[in-house]
Amino acid sequence: MAKRGAGGGVMRRRERWLPGYGPGPQRPYRGRKMRKLTVILAVGIAFAGFGTANASAQPKVTNTFSCHEVTWTYTQFPDLEVTGKERVVLDGVKILKKEFKFFGPSAFDSVKITVPPGHHEISAHVEYYWEGVKHGEADHKAVGGITCAAEPSFTIEKLQKIAGDGGYTPDELSGKTGQTVDYEIIVKNTGNTTLTFGNFTDEECEAITGGPTEPVAAGKSTTYFCKHMLAEPGCHTNTATVTGTPPEGQGEPITENSNAVKVCVPAEPAFTIAKKQEIAGSGTGYTTEVYKGAVGQTVNYQITVKNTGNTKLKFINFTDEKCDEGTIAGGPGEAYVAPGESTVYTCTHKITEADKTSTVIENNATDTGVPPEGQGEPATNTSNTVYVAFPKPKGSITFTCTSVTFKFTGFPNVPNNKVVERIFLDGVRIFRETFYFNGPTFENTVKITVPPGTHKLNAHAEYKKVNGISGETDRSIIITCSAEPEFTMQKSQKIDGSSEPFTTSTIVGHVGDQVDYQVVVTNTGNVPLKYSNFTDEKCDEGTIAGGPGEEQVAPKGTTTYTCDHVLTLLDFAAGTYTNSATVTGTPPEGQGEPVTNTSNTVEAEVQE
C-alpha cells in the first residue's frame, strides 16, 4: 500500500536489511511469511546475544516531509547506541547531511529545511549502524513532489561593544562619557525566498555602514555597523529596523525591529577647586607661590572651580574664612555648570597687625557641587592652601679696597623701600646716602678709595618701618691695601668765543678760528700723583697752561690743562684737525711706578 506524503505527494518506502537481520536485500516481506521469518530471525538474534525484546522485530524507519522540515522515526531497533547517517536531497541536490545518534529501540529526529516557493522533488535517505557495522538503510521519497508557498521572513539581531573592548554582545554594558559604542546588526534571511533589504534605520546611531549590495538568499545573512558616542550619564537603549522585500509575486515586504541593547553610564559627579593669590598692585599675576606681605597691603584671591565629572553641577555653600566680609564675588549663582566647564570666585583680604603677629596667613576655600536628582550625591571639596608670609628684612655687606657692596633681602614686594647707607674709613665717614628700591631685594655697590696700608673699614645700613619692623646691618673689617697709582684723562674742545660748552664731540670751525682745548686729569688710584711731561703736539706753541705744577694731586683729585690752536689753510686742506694729549703721573717713592696715559682724541672739521 502507498502512503500520501506531505504537500500532496505520495511517499514510497524502500527498505533493505543485510543478511542475517532481514528477509532480503530487495524489499520487506509482508503478512504471514514475514511473521514466520521474524520468529526465525528472533531465534537467530537471541543466539547472537541480543535481548529477547529486540529479537522479535526488525528495524524500521519512516519519514515525513513538509516545506520546513524532514522527520525520521526510528522503531524496533536493538537496545544499543545507533548512528543514523541522514541526508536530504531536493531536486537532485543534496541539501542536508548529518548524523543522528540514539539508544534503541526507538527515536525521532526532525531537521529544519528551506524549500523555495514552487513544486519540488524531495527525498530522504538514512544508513544505520551499531557496534561499528552498517546494518541497513532506508530511502523515502515524497512521490508527486512537494509544493511550497513563498514565506518571506528574516531575523534582525543587534549586538554592541565599547570601542576597543572585547567582542560584540547583546548584554547590557557599562560605559563612560566620551566613550564610543560600536554596534553590529546581523540580518538573517530565515524564509524560503530571496530578500532585498532596505530602509535600514537606527535613530540612536551614527556612521551607518555595511548591509547588502544585492538580494540576500534564503539562509544567508548581511551585517550593518554603526556607532554612538556616550555624551552624558544615564542608560542608552538602542534598536534597529530594516525592511525585507521578496521578489514580485512572492509575498509582501516585511519590516522587523531588532532586540534592544542597553549601555548605562553611571553618574560620576566630581570637581576640582584651585586657589591663587596676588598682592594688589604688584602686577605679578595670580600664583600659588608664597608671597611676602606687609601690614596694610591687600591680598587678592582667585578660586577656580572646574566640573571634572560627567554630570552638571550646581555649586552652593562657597566659603573662604580668610576673605574679608562682603568681598566674595563671582561663581555661577543658581545656574548649573556643565561637565568640563569652570566658574571663578574672587575675594580679598587686607593684611592686619594681627596677621603680622601670626607670621603667616594660610588660606583655602571650600565649595559643594550638587548634581541633578538621581545622578549621584553632593560632593564637597577644599582647595589648596596659599600662604602670605612676613619675613624679616636682612642685609649683608662685603668689602674690597675699591668698593663696598650692600645686599638686601626679605623686604616687602612694594615700591620705595628705604635704606640709609654709611661707610667709615679709620673712624671717618667717607660716604652717606639714602637709597630707595622696589622690593623684595636690592644690591648697591659704592666705589671707595683706601690708601695703601692697613685700615679699618666699617659699613652701616639702616631701615625703618619695613614690614612694620625697624632694623639695621653693621659690619667692620681690617683691610690691607696695596698702592695702585691710576689716573684718567679726558680732552674736550670748543671754538673760542662760542657759547657752547666744551665737548668731546666733533666741532666745525673755519680757517682763522681758534680752538680751545681742556684736558681734565683725575687721580683714580689710592696714592697721590705728581704730573709731568704734559704734551699736546697739536696745540700752538706757548698756549699750554694749567696743571698742578710741582704739587701732588690727591686720590680722587683732579687737575686741568688748557691750550689752543688757530685753524689754518693747511688744516682746511686736510679737512679735519685731530688732537690728543699725554701726561705722566708719578706716585711717592715706594708706592708704585710712574704711569703715562694718553687722552681721548677730539676732532674739528675745518671749513674755509
Confidence bin at 194 (pLDDT 50/70/90): very high
CATH number of 3-148: 2.60.40
pLDDT tens digits, one per residue of 342-390: 999 999 999 998 887 777 899 999 999 999 998 899 999 999 999 998 7
Can you identify the CATH homologous superfamily of domain 272-385? Immunoglobulins (2.60.40.10)
pLDDT tens digits, one per residue of 379-435: 999 999 999 987 778 899 999 999 999 999 877 767 888 899 999 999 999 999 999
Q: In whole angstroms, give the CA distance from residue 104 to residue 107.
A: 7
Q: Of 382-396, 466-480, 514-528, 561-575, which gets the smallest average pLDDT? A: 466-480
pLDDT tens digits, one per residue of 21-56: 333 333 333 333 333 322 222 222 322 333 334 445
Q: In whole angstroms, give the CA distance from residue 5 to residue 151.
A: 21
pLDDT tens digits, one per residue of 438-460: 877 899 999 999 999 999 999 99
The fold adopted by the segment(s) 487-607 is Immunoglobulin-like (2.60.40)
532-549: average pLDDT: 94
- Through-space distance between the first and last CA atoms of the chain, rounded to whole angstroms: 155
Edge-to-edge strand order for the sheet containing 93-103?
Answer: 3-4, 10-17, 133-143, 122-130, 81-90, 93-103
C-alpha cell at 569: 689753510
Measured over the CA atoms of residue 501, residue 504, residue 508 and residue 512, the dihedral's sign is: positive
- CATH architecture of the domain with range 154-265: Sandwich (2.60)
CATH number of 394-481: 2.60.40.10
Residue with cell 682724541: 601
pLDDT tens digits, one per residue of 483-536: 999 999 999 999 999 999 999 999 999 999 999 999 999 999 999 999 999 999
C-alpha cell at 480: 690691607
pTM to 2 decimals? 0.51
- Whether 3-148 and 154-265 share one fold: the answer is yes
Residues ≥6 apart with Cβ < 8 Å to 482: 401, 452
Is the model's pLDDT at 206 over the cut of 70?
yes
* Residue extents of the structural domains in the chain: 3-148, 154-265, 272-385, 394-481, 487-607
Amino acid at 478: I
The alpha carbon of 166 is separated from its chain's Cα centroid by a whole number of angstroms, namely 25
